[in-house]
Structure formats: structure tokens, C-alpha cells
Chains A and B, each alone.
Chain A
């Protein structure tokens, strides 16, 4: 077990002791290392000015993979055994620009320049991923710019995907690979500074034990929630236990019976390639979940445990009839997700338990699925309403109806009355009308600045009405 943070930065291996574990990567770079190219625009994960890349070595593929993250909500201990790539690493001084930097200059993608390093890093991630040009918007959805209006940056993104790999950067990568190879096997991290600890055990058993032994400790995964509690609410976290070094928890795989098991520590980006096979209709839902930077950090487990009424994940998993696997040293239980949410931001998770996996049952061939998010802006915005519909049409009747909503009550919730009205009922206009009326029994949404209760209810009814109308039409066509 390491008690020292080890990472690679600025072409050099780093060994860090004595920096408090709740120090963010951004503060460390700017204040401790005077690497001021990485900017602070919000300190809340919203603006992307602090975007850096975390490089990780895959010994099997013998390649480094990168993900763009927001340094402002990444804790320094989370970069243990990573290569931290900042804007300073992309070029060799002013004269030899990386292709993405060159493209930004050529396209006039920078005006005041403050957001620019963050955009450059997002574009670098895109370049390194060899992503197709049409994904440019997705790569920069997490970066804000108030000057350019984005058009020139999107152009720069398109130019830079076509550009060849940068030899100067490849040389740096080569150095990093040598460092990765020199690392001994990961036995976990126990980082302890001035009575604050960050414990990142390797292996589920050790994690569960740590959870049991330290009931006062706070569990962290992607820290996309915790980072805000730290930066915005100025909360103290003297004891943290991290799930990120537990391979069992990041695994995402289909079981032989077709159930998709998503590790409780898997991020949205990690889970999506397989989850997409279950719900290809969810592409839009996925892309509108926060930003690429956040999706590469945020775990689905964290999103569910957080139990926010406006979370985008829970309604989807409710409609998919998912269960959660909750483990402690004394054993494991599996609970239907609908029983997991017990009240406003409270769940059935016991003090010594960890959410270790989400089980998504196999989907029936004829199961309809739709996830619809309504918000003010398309990218990275909080939902006013998140509506998810799932049902089958069988012999003219609705079956296995699971309609779930976010933004409509204190917890993400199945629309129990409406589901009951529809279940087994004939697919007719009349049924549809009854179902719509029953939404009122299921929910009494609130007014807030994102939307009024009236808007929430009526938009939900509209969305449901559309979906039901299509169902009625489909049934009529099938009958004809």
C-alpha cells in the first residue's frame, strides 16, 4: 500500500506527500506548481476552463488512453498513478504548436483566451481519441466561452481531427510510458496528511472492510458531487474512502442470462458502450447528461446513491426495472431500485453498505423505450423534467408498463397509478386519456426557477400523450 502520491507531470515522475488530500488538482497545479495555464472559471465543474487530461496506460494494448476531466472537482489523490497532461505539455513553447493549438489559432477560436486552454485540452482529447469530426460538439459541450460563440472552435475541432499525431507529443507520451512501466503493482493508496486521510484500497473485500471500520468516513467515487460540497459549501472531509481502485466495481458486463451488470464504480462513459446495446434509444439522454468531462468522472452508482429528484440516471434505471446490489462485510443483498429511494435524497443504503452494482434485466424484443429530457439548454443543463417510458404492446394490450419521472416529486419515481391504469389495458385512445388523467394522482410537482409545477405536469402529460398516441397508432396499424 502506497502512502505517497505518485503521478507523472511535466515530463517528470512526481512523489507527493504532505499536501492535504482534499486539495483539488486545480489548486495543486496553480498554487503549488505555478502551472497557471489551467484556469479557474467556476470551481464547480461547469465551465471547463480547468480541463486537463488524465493518461492511463493499458499494458495489454500497450497504449495510453486519455480522458478529459475538470481539475477543479478532481481531488489530487485521485490522480495517483496517472499521467496528468496540462496545456503546458501540449506544445514546446510558443513556436511549436500542437495541431489542435494550431487549428485554434488558424480558425480564430480564441478571443480573450481565458477559456482557451480548457478548449485546447478538450480538443486534444478528441484528437488523441481519433474521434470523428461529428463528435466535436460532444467533446466541447463541457466548455464555456463567452467571446467566440463557439463556431470557430467547432471548426478548429474539425480541422484538428484530420491532423496527424504530433511527434513532439508522441515523444512525451513515450517518456510517460517508460514511467508507467516502471511502476510496481498497485496495492492501493493510503494517503494520510495532518489527520486527514484518503483511503483507496484495491479490491472489494478491502473496500468493504474499510467502510465497516470507518463509519464516519465519506465514500467517494468520481467526486462530481463531493467536489461541489467541498468547493461551494466549504464542507470538511477529514476521512475519505475511494471506490476508484476496485476493479470489481468498474466492470461492466453481460451475464449469460442477458442481464447487464454495471459496476457501482463505473462511470457513465465506461458503462455506455454496453448500456447502449440495451437502450440504443438512449443516445440523446446519454449525450445530454452533463458533459464529457463529467461523464468520464461521474459514476452511475454515485448518481443513484445521491438520489437527487432531478438526477437523469434514476428514472432510466427505474423504467428498465433495474436492481441495485448492496454489499457489506456481512453480505450482499439485491434490492429493486424502486425500493431504494425512500425520501428526498435518502435511500435504503445502510451505513456499512456500498452500492456495488446495478443489474439491468434483459430487454424484451418488443419493449418500447424512450428517455426524454426537457431543460432550458440542450447541453449540460439540469432537467426540468426527465420522462422515461417503457412498455410492450401485446395482443392489443399494454404490458410491463414502467413509466418513470424525474423532476416531478421528491425522489425519482415510477408513476405507479399511471402504470397500473395502463397495465393490461387495451391500447386505445380511451386508455390513453385515463392514463393521462392519472398522472395527477402520481405527482404533485413543485415550482422552482427551472420550471413551474404547471409546466412540469403539463409537459409530462404532453410527452406521455405523444408516446401513447404513437402506441395507439402502432396498435391500429397492427390490427389493420
Chain B
């Protein structure tokens, strides 16, 4: 197969949601107000590790406006199941309870201890200062290395050494030991993947209310179905009596994929009080309690033969979990990371082992890319380290080891089968774009200013993930619009527009007459939500199936209207056409003349399989040795996402993802002090990128159609984040290598870089 022509299909249609957003008409959870609503505030532990000796709420109850105050014991007494769910992936695992409200002991600063509900937000906040919790403070440990040190305080008594779980992936010990012993060269690297705070611009929020027996929860999610099921279990409600509505979502990035204590607590309070209850996290509260991302320390080995071909990769990682297992925390550094561990290289064998580690800190879970950015970051740093070790140019070293197009389909050492990919070609294209040939000249110019300049490269491959199933229903509503339900959930990726494009293409219904319905568990039975870059692929297959069902169902009706035999009709270019004539009838007109509901259809599938988006990122940086300040001089990315539906939306995803990656690489640093207080709990202290970080990203698409779905598309939501960290860190490393600074870890803040430069000289 050839390279799909640049932007051949798919038009950059204006996003349908944008008019709402730019005029301030977007409806996010906190924009929803319900008559009679009252406000919930969560009382959180100020200590990272403590025994709760007693909680006295008497003064709170007497405070102005207070309607209710509930501790974990109250929650249980009222019939609530005080337990958060999590998946176990490790072959060995501790199984500590994670409660919704603390049960006798708190293990991180910010852990929910009680809730207070009052008539106004201010009253609830004021009352929260009156709660009297008697804590017995215990020693805390907040970073991986201290947690696994002998004699470290134990976060959970049943997790000796703070080892939360042990997991090992595919690969056989004897084989790996043999590969390592027979290798011409074994390159070793120790690397940290810094803990990041996700920072969706919309803080988490929930509004819950009861209407008779029916609970409705309006909340910011990445798909509300799991919450619906869990709420029913946790609060003892019939499933059909729970409705979860997700309005516009101001960014999720994996952080809103799983349920949170407050999403049970606001409904609980609404049931107890018979009043609508609103909860909105403050920014500081979000930073303290939102699932965080990453936090790994890894030791990696790469075995090479005498020709510098890779013969094996062996990795052991410690993965921080925070104080409790969040819902999918075990899966991310293990199964998900393992998928792309061999990257785009022809690596015959791998071994991957992970030890999860508890610390007295906020729980860790998915963050944009979930496992795959971590894996690619590790591999692509290792590729540069190895190239340097054997004295090869990192580009040629990659080139030597790439899986070549003629090896496709290619089964990797971890058992995935890549369908297509033209890695060498994309890398060469990126190098031209980045003017690799002119680098020496630019380096000389920088050197004249006393600055070190270099280029770093990352070739990433992604593996899109997520539930295989998705449904869609099509209904023409009384105003003649086609309502299309979907089980995914836009968090800002422009689903409304892209889905409308898909449906329009299949049915000919004008884009402006297509209404995408999402985020309501009453209207949509099941949904897989957003995550793993799955949405378009999984949903498009369902919508295309529904479109086919619609056309099939409509055919007889069309024939009747057009007074011809059904077999004389063909459906093309958006309408039924009578063969041999110029008579035609489009679906919208047809539906308008039929009784409401005649053309309703529903379709589902289990066919979504992973795709392998891939591409080459190149960053060029200047480093000032005197201050440690890094400036990003150029950024080039060439991606292969198969076929594109909407290039504008795709470019936006890439651009945003890259800047998120750059944030982690250059500035985002989560700091706890030795007592376990989060020091970076506001935008002043936790630095995320602003407009000056980088504005120009040179994006090119060279798609190779995927063979793994009927459309030929691949996912693009996470790719930017997957590739960015290694590209910029490799550039910084190369710029500083002549100074013998050793391995440079993220984040490359001026202070940290500079210390490392000084330590070397």
C-alpha cells in the first residue's frame, strides 16, 4: 500500500461545538444550577499519614446554614458501601481498601474525611473550619526511593516494603539472561518519569438531585456508564433509577476516566437531604485530589550484537501508586506500557517487570497516553543512550533497527501485530523538515552567543486501546433532524463535528441536520467513553453500521414513495436514485413524509481493534549553561494516523498533546515536602505551559491506511504526548553531552539542569 495522499479525504469542517464555546454558551457541570440546590464541601486530611482518633462534628452542625455533616461512619450507617473499586493486574498484589471517606486512618494529605452540606458555599466553607478531628500523626513517605528503603514507614500494613504489587509481562528469564550474556554490548540506563498533575482547566464537579426514586448526577466524566453502575451498587439504588449526565467537559486527559469519592458523596447527600447538592473542586483541591500521572523509576538494558542490532530489551520499573490503588492504576505501568515497549524496532526478545510502590501521596492513574508515553519515553531515551555508547549517530542507529515495511504484518516481541508502518520514510521526511543538514551552522551561531544547541529525535508508535464494543442509534426527530446517539464522550476533541462528518458521508443528511447525542445514560444504554484514542474508530464503525441499517430500512419506503420496485433503487451520493432516471429522494425528505419512528435504527459491534499510529518528533533546543534555561527553537512532527476525517481537529490534538508533553519535560514538577504536604498545589507553584512555551509546531501528515478497521483510520488523541518528552529531552541531553553531565531526567527546569551542569564541572 502506498502513502495516502496528504489530507486527501476529510475536510477541515468548522467545529459544530465551537459556536457554543466561543460565545460562552458551553454548559459545564458548574454552569448547571437546580432550584433549591445546596453546597457540599469536602473536609480533607491536612496530614499525609495519621490515625484518626476521633471526629467531633457538633460545632459544625450548629453552624449557620449547615444542613448535614457526614463522616465515613455516617456514610456506612446510612447504608453506603464505603469502598472504591480497583482492578488488580499484578500477579502478586496487596489488597487494601480504598474508602470513599476515611476509615480510621488517612494516608495522604487531601484524603476525604467528611463532607459538609450547607445552604451556601461560603457557609459550607466556614463550617468546615469548625470540624474537630483528632489526628495521631504518623511518619510519611512520599517518593518511590524512600518508600522502598529498608525501615521506611509503611503506608499499608499488608504491603511490606511498600511494595503494592509485582507484575511481570511476557518474556522468559532464561532467554533474557542468555541474550544479555551473549550480547556484544549491553547498554544500561536509569530513568525517572516525573509525577505530573493533570490539570484539566475545568475542575472536577458534580450536581446531584433526586426526583422521586430517581437519582440524577450531572458530572464531568469521560463516560458516565461505569459511574452509573457503581452508584447503583454503592448507594443501593436500582440501576434504572440512576441517571448520569455528562454535559460539556473542560478537559479530561484520562484524569476524569474513573470515578471519584465526590461523585458518590454528592448523590449520597442529595438522597439524605432531599435537596439538589452541588460540589465544585477548588483549584487547590483539584491539584491535591485529582488522579495524578506517571511517577516511575526504571532500569533498562538494551542488548546489541556486533553490528549494533538490538537483540533484546530488559526493563524493571518501580511505579508509584500514591497511597491507594486508583481504579486502573496497576494496568497502566504494566499491560499498557508493555504494548509499545519494542517501539518501531525489530527487537526479537523482551522482558518487563514492574513493582508497584505505595507512598503517602495522591493516587496515580491514567494521564494522556496512559503507559504508552512512559514506554516510548523510556525506549527513545534508551535508543539515544545506546547510540552514543556504541558511537553511532542516533538516526542511523534507529534506521538500522527499524521494522521495515516489507516485514509487515509484524509480530512484536510482546505479541502485538503491527499492520502497517513506514518508519524510515517518515523519519527522513521529518529530518528534511527540521533542516538537519543546517544544524551545524545553527549550532555555530548559537555557540557565538554562548549557547549550546542541539536536536533530539523520537520515533514513537502508539497502540490505541479501549473497549471493543460501541453502539449507535439513529432517530429522525419531529423537526427533521437526525439524532445520533453515541457511547463515547467528547472531552474537547470535537466529536460532534467529526461524527457528523461520518454520518453525513454515509447518509447524505446535511451536517447541520445531524445532532450527536452523548453523555446521558438514560438515552444511551451502553458506552465505552473516551480514552485510549479509541473514540472515532470505535464509534465510526457503529455509526456506519447504523447508517447501513438505515438505508436498508428506508429502501422499501423510498420505493413506495417513488413508485418503483426496491431493486430499481440505488443509494448513492446521499440519496436513493431510480436507475436510469434522474429521480432521487434523500433520507431527510423521506423521513419527513413517514410516521415518526419509522426509520429508527440501532447498530452495535465488537469489532474495534487496536491501531498503531506512529510518527517522528524532532525538537531543537538552545541551552544556556550559565542559567540552565532551555529554549525550544524548533519543533517538527510527521505523523501517520492512517486516513484523516478532519485534519484541523487532528492537528489540534497533536499540537495540544505535544505542548502537554513539553510541559512534563521542561517544567512540570510535583513536589511534596518530607512531611507529605503538596508544595505545588496552585498554578503559581505548579508550572504548566503558557503561550510562550512554543507556538509553532510544524505538523505534517503522511498517512498509511490502517488495515485494522474498515475506514483505514488510526487514533490521534494521545500521540502528541507520546512523542514529545523524548524528543525534547534527547535534544537537551545531546546539547549537554559534551559537558559530561550524565543522564538528564525530567523535568529539565533551569534549577535542576544547572545543578547538574555545575556538578559536572
Interface residues of A (CB under 8 A from B): 30, 34-44, 46-47, 49, 86-88, 90-91, 93-95, 97, 101, 104-106, 108, 110-117, 120, 136-137, 140-141, 143-154, 232, 234, 374-382, 384, 449-452, 454-455, 458-459, 462-463, 466
Contacts and interface: CB of A to CB of B under 8 A. Distances in A.
Contact of A374 (B125, B199, B629): B629
Given A137-B692, A146-B253, A41 B18 contact: no
28 contacts: A36-B24, A40-B203, A40-B280, A41-B203, A44-B682, A44-B683, A46-B283, A46-B682, A47-B683, A88-B24, A105-B14, A105-B15, A108-B651, A110-B21, A113-B17, A114-B250, A114-B251, A116-B22, A146-B253, A147-B201, A150-B689, A151-B695, A151-B697, A154-B695, A376-B667, A377-B692, A452-B751, A454-B758
Contacts of A111: 251, 492-494, 652, 656
Contacts of A141: 690-692
Contacts of B750: 374-376, 384, 455, 459
Nearest to A291: B690
Contacts of A379: 690-692
Interface of A is mostly: loop
Given A379-B691, A451-B751, A459-B754, A152 B24 contact: no
Contacts of A36: 24, 27, 30-31
A104 B20 CA distance: 12
Contact of A114 (B201, B628, B683, B755): B201
Given A111-B652, A116-B22, A147 B251 contact: yes
A452 B626 CA distance: 15
A275 to B, nearest CB: 23
Given A232-B284, A449-B679, A149 B24 contact: no
A95 B22 CA distance: 11
B697 A149 contact: yes
Contacts of A463: 626-627
Contacts of A380: 690
B137 to A, nearest CB: 22
Contacts of A459: 626-628, 750, 754
B692 A378 contact: yes
Contacts of B30: 36, 40
B649 interface: yes
Given A46-B684, A113-B18, 4 more contacts: A34-B33, A39-B250, A114-B492, A141-B690
Contact of A149 (B19, B27, B659, B680): B659
Contacts of A151: 655, 694-697
A131 B250 CA distance: 30
B26 interface: yes
B751 A112 contact: no
B744 to A, nearest CB: 16
Contact of A44 (B125, B660, B684): B684
B703 to A, nearest CB: 19
Interface string B603-624: 0000000000000000000000
A184 B167 CA distance: 75
A101 B23 contact: yes
Contact of B689 (A46, A377, A382): A377
A90 B683 CA distance: 28
Closest 4 CB pairs of A and B: A37-B24, A112-B492, A114-B250, A113-B21
A379 B17 CA distance: 30
B25 interface: yes
Nearest to A88: B24
Contacts of A149: 655-660, 689, 694, 697, 720
Contacts of B129: 234
- Secondary structure class of chain B's binding surface, majority of residues: loop
B282 A43 contact: yes
B202 interface: yes
Given A94-B25, A112-B250, A449-B680, A153 B691 contact: yes
Given A34-B33, A114-B202, A151-B696, A449 B671 contact: yes
Contact of A47 (B31, B201, B629, B669): B201
Contacts of B755: 452, 454-455
B508 to A, nearest CB: 25
A450 B251 contact: no
A105 B22 CA distance: 8
Contacts of B249: 112
Contacts of B251: 111-112, 114, 146-147
Contacts of B33: 34
A117 B24 contact: yes
A93 B20 CA distance: 9
B491 A112 contact: yes
B688 interface: yes
Given A44-B684, A108-B649, A144 B23 contact: no
B492 A147 contact: yes
A384 B492 CA distance: 35
Nearest to A102: B22
B401 to A, nearest CB: 31
A112 B27 CA distance: 11
B200 interface: yes
Interface in B713-759: 720, 749-751, 754-755, 758
A97 B754 contact: no
A91 B20 CA distance: 11
A153 B758 CA distance: 38
A152 B658 CA distance: 13
Contacts of B201: 39, 41, 47, 49, 112, 114-115, 144-147
Interface string B187-231: 000000000000111110000000000000000000000000000
B164 to A, nearest CB: 26
Given A450-B751, A455-B754, A462-B627, A110 B22 contact: yes
A463 B19 CA distance: 49
Contact of A120 (B22, B200, B693): B22
B145 to A, nearest CB: 18
A462 B754 CA distance: 11
Nearest to B724: A149
Contacts of A462: 626-627
A410 B682 CA distance: 22
B248 interface: yes
Contact of B23 (A93, A137, A449): A93
B685 interface: yes
Nearest to A153: B691
Contact of A108 (B15, B280, B688): B15
B89 interface: no
B18 to A, nearest CB: 4
A377 B18 contact: no
B687 interface: yes
Contacts of A30: 31
Given A87-B23, A104-B18, A144 B655 contact: no
Nearest to A377: B687
B15 A150 contact: no
User: Most chain-A Cβ atoms within 10 A of its Cβ — which of B248, B250, B649, B755?
Assistant: B250
Given A112-B201, A115-B201, A376-B750, A42 B492 contact: no
A374 B690 CA distance: 16
Contacts of A152: 652, 655
Contacts of B667: 376-377
B549 interface: no
Given A144-B201, A149-B659, A382-B684, A110 B24 contact: no
B260 interface: no
B249 to A, nearest CB: 6
Contacts of A154: 691, 695
B73 interface: no
A373 to B, nearest CB: 11
B694 A234 contact: no
Contacts of B648: 108
Interface string B633-675: 0000000000000001101100111111000000101010000
A112 B19 CA distance: 12
Contact of B24 (A44, A87, A108, A451): A87
